[in-house]
Amino acid sequence: MSDTLIVDLARNAMLMALGLAAPMLFVALGIGLLVSLVQAVTQIQEQTLAFVPKLIAVAMVFLVGLPWMTQVAMKYTTELIRSLPGLAS
């Protein structure tokens, strides 16, 4: 196994993980910005006010996107397992 192959496999795994996590991260970022704006305008500095809406929104995105995430992860894993005999030689 060459160094470039290992780097390529690691890069593909990290890109897939980033692609699966990106929707939830963007929703958490957006909700966090909106809640911070509301807190700044109203001068309410409650920590749970920022946490609970993000938790709920990320959970909703996770539940809605779970079939897609499972499909992408299964496709990547299947392709990786099928390519193992060619990678070993």
What pLDDT score was predicted for residue 30? Answer: 96
State pLDDT tens for residues 4-41. Answer: 888 999 999 999 999 999 999 999 999 999 999 998 89
What pLDDT score was predicted for residue 62? Answer: 97
Distances (CA, A) of 40 to 37, 49, 50, 56: 5, 12, 12, 21
Range of the domain at 43: 3-88
Whether the pTM exceeds 0.85: the reply is no
Quote the number of domains for the chain: 1
